[in-house]
Amino acid sequence: MNKDNFFFILALLGILMLIALVLNIDKLFPLPTEEETLTHLASLDQKSTERGTNPEAPVLLEEFSDFQCPYCKAAVPLLQELNQKYGDTLNIVYKHAPFLESHPQAGDAAEASECARQQEKFWAYHDLLFSHQDQLDLGSLKNYAAQLNLDTERFNTCLTQHEQAHVIERDLNEALERGIQGTPTFFINGIKVNGADKDQILLLIEQQLEAKR
């Protein structure tokens, strides 16, 4: 075998290995299934009050977010990680800041999530919205409620009658008052963090916990 043939075969083997890796990447690095995610988020719903997860917690984390925002979707694993790490010492409050000019379906999605909150399924619904971010039409929003075994008649009425629109409007007004210019934006006990800056958020949480001890 001459040198040219050897390098050709070597390159071909490399390409075949790369193709095999791409085809099996989901097996090598499996993502959580929808069922696993919903099981995790169900624990948040069980603890949730009207807006927060742990109202007596010493640290309040507020997130202003938009269900059509890709950067907000990327922040979902961070929220899950923070909940697992800090548990009852962290109160996570999701607030709505849909940018309707760029994300025309974000407003309906936000209202739908609040309709789900009325049936104690906000966080599970929240995660379904982000995992299906390209399907936020009204039909899909109603289907997600059915997937979570909500009272669909009650949910659909809430959504089509815009019963929770005032919650979205209130959050948007607060976002403007607090100078929010993009999503996601976080506040840790009132200290602003632009974007899902994990290191900064963790540092602030630790500082606030230490200050409360």
Q: How many domains does the chain have?
A: 2
| Cα 67 from Cα 73, distance rounded (Å) | 7
Q: What are phi and psi of 49, to 5 degrees?
A: -100, -155
**Which amino acid is present at 33?**
T
Residue 65 has pLDDT above 50, yes or no: yes
| Cα 198 from Cα 182, distance rounded (Å) | 17
Q: Which two tokens stand for residue 20?
A: 């095999």
- Give percent above pLDDT 70 in the chain: 77
Q: Are residues 16 and 60 in the same domain?
A: no
| Cα 114 from Cα 123, distance rounded (Å) | 10
The whole-number average pLDDT for the span 165-184 is 97
Q: Are residues 139 and 205 in the same domain?
A: yes
| Cα 152 from Cα 138, distance rounded (Å) | 13
Q: For residue 212, what pLDDT is reported?
A: 84
Q: Which two tokens stand for residue 26?
A: 């989901």
Q: For residue 176, what pLDDT is reported?
A: 96
**Which amino acid is present at 145?**
A
| Cα 183 from Cα 201, distance rounded (Å) | 15
CB atoms within 10 A of CB 43: 14
Q: Are residues 14 and 102 in the same domain?
A: no
**Binning pLDDT at 50, 70 and 90, where does residue 52 land?**
confident
Range of the domain at 109: 32-212
Q: Are residues 15 and 37 in the same domain?
A: no
